[in-house]
Chains A and B, each alone.
Chain A
Amino acid sequence: MFDEYQYDRALACYNRGQIDQAIDLLKPLLAEDPNQVHLHALLALCLLSKKRLYAAEYEVQLALSIDAQEPLCYSILARIYFLKNKMSQALENCDESLRLNPNYSDSLLLKSEIYSVLGETQKSLQCLNEAAKIEPDSIDISLAYGHYYFYKGDSEQALMYASEAMQKDPQNSEAAVLLGKIKLKQGDVDEALQLAKFSILNNPDSSEALKLFCDIKVRQNWFLGLWWRINSKLSSLSGTKASIVLIAFFLLFNLLSQLMEDLGYLGLSKVFSYGWLLLVVYSWVGLPMYQRKLQKELSQFRFNDDY
């Protein structure tokens, strides 16, 4: 039997985000008793947090070789495959986890994420609904709904779920970031700024909070503000819709320019041509400038492991 006190300490460290400490606690436990499924599973989760996918997969496989009926292991394995971009294998493992425990809402949430990446939004929502039936009070599910509606462009619904998540846990950094993103999209910059600061204070290493902070700065910037707004609008559309909007703009400018030339209005034709060129250059310059600002923000705040 392994030292449960040490295991609980490792689990607490993992939950607090102190991954290195959790690994340091787990290693001697595993050295002493390598046949404990939960130790391997927790170590796999720690390694996953450190983005060490191969080591995490190895640990889960070890855990499964000890007990092939543990739904948590299949759920972790599904997450690993998801991060390896192997969606069909990820779905298979989610299903296996749900077969072993039909009330395992984490697997349903992951399935929803997978379908979302594959562009199957209806299936994604269906999984969320199933998860909500199992755990109606879970903050993770409120957040998942919030993200789902936010990326679908439905700010009202997203706001409702993000507020619900904040009510459930007012200290939750992820909920604050999501609420901040929605507020920023709705034009409430002050509120978004407050939420971003609150999230950074709560979790100084949260890249999402820092990204929100950068977005606020970019939105207020005189040069990049317009670029951010256009980009934000396009991001809320699906890939197909965004492509059609962009091409519609391209055709509109160029066909009008050509038409003006054919009709003999050369001056107007040039206005359209230069207008289009200006728009293209602005969009080209905007992206690297935004990414540079974001990197600067992240590197300024990113703390080292000793923090």
Chain B
Amino acid sequence: MMFLNLFKNMANNSKDYFIIDEPKVKFLEKAIVNPVIILFAAMIVPMFTHIPYFGRWWLPFVWLVFNGIILGSPTLKKEILYSVIGLVTLAALFYLVFYIIEQNFHFNFSVIDYLLIIMYGIFFLFMYLVVFLQEAPYQIYQYIKEDKNV
């Protein structure tokens, strides 16, 4: 009887329950960055290099939207909306600047400089709006990613 119990215990111990492994990190997941980094890049990179086709204005928005897609951001629709509104507003201001230059208006002060400052203001306003929206999902992603003691 004692041997039987011992045998039973051995049999039970040999049975093990397997927990499935986590999937490997997807290639695109490696491209996820903190949205604040995109904001900083939008500020710093144009200081050192020229981005063709007015890239300094639209590229950060595209990057943020791409980041939102690969992050699986639940606020992606809002992020796209803000990006589009920002880009359309910037395009309208660009049109205004070119119009003023073409028409050769004369003012006592440098209108173009003021318009440029406002354009930067609008650019950063929409950048901040998108970045703040993406920050919460990014924090959740970061929480899962960090210290994964698997």
Binding site for B on A (CB under 8 A): 23, 26-28, 30-32, 34, 43, 47, 50-55, 58-59, 82-88, 117-119, 239-240, 242-244, 246-247, 250-251, 254-255, 258, 262, 280, 284, 287, 302, 305
Contacts and interface: CB of A to CB of B under 8 A. Distances in A.
Contacts of B136: 117
A58 B128 contact: no
A229 B67 CA distance: 29
Contact of A250 (B23, B121, B137): B121
Given A85-B71, A239-B129, A258 B144 contact: no
Interface residues of B, number: 43
A174 B132 CA distance: 26
Contacts of B43: 280
Contact of A32 (B15, B20, B36, B75): B15
A88 B73 CA distance: 11
Contacts of A43: 19
A52 B125 contact: no
Given A86-B72, A247-B121, 16 more contacts: A28-B15, A28-B16, A32-B15, A50-B149, A51-B147, A51-B149, A53-B22, A53-B144, A58-B20, A84-B72, A85-B73, A240-B129, A242-B132, A251-B117, A251-B121, A255-B114
20 contacts: A28-B16, A31-B12, A34-B17, A50-B150, A51-B144, A51-B148, A53-B22, A53-B144, A84-B72, A85-B72, A85-B140, A86-B72, A239-B135, A246-B124, A250-B124, A251-B121, A254-B121, A258-B110, A258-B117, A262-B109
Contacts of A86: 72, 74
Contacts of B22: 52-55
B62 interface: no
A117 B20 contact: no
Contacts of A240: 129, 132
A84 B74 CA distance: 10
Contacts of A85: 71-74, 137, 140-141
A254 B120 contact: yes
Contacts of A239: 128-129, 132-133, 135
Contacts of A31: 12, 15-17
Contacts of B113: 258
Interface string B98-109: 000000000001
B74 A28 contact: no
A117 B137 contact: yes
Contacts of B128: 239, 242-243, 246-247
Contacts, number: 111
Interface in B85-133: 109-110, 113-114, 117-118, 120-121, 124-125, 128-129, 132-133
Interface of chain A: mostly helix, strand, loop or mixed: helix
A284 B133 contact: no
Contacts of A55: 19-22
A30 B20 CA distance: 14
Given A52-B22, A54-B22, A117-B137, A247 B125 contact: yes
Contact of A117 (B15, B74, B129): B74
A242 B39 CA distance: 15
A42 B133 CA distance: 33
The 9 closest A-B pairs by CB, nearest first: A239-B132, A243-B128, A87-B74, A30-B17, A31-B15, A31-B17, A27-B17, A247-B125, A262-B109
B40 interface: yes
Nearest to B36: A287
B124 A82 contact: no
Contacts of B147: 51, 302
A117 B132 contact: no
A258 B121 CA distance: 14
B5 to A, nearest CB: 15
Nearest to B44: A284
Contacts of B53: none
B39 to A, nearest CB: 10
A119 B78 CA distance: 11
Nearest to A280: B43
Interface in B19-61: 19-23, 36, 40, 43
Contact of B125 (A32, A51, A243): A243
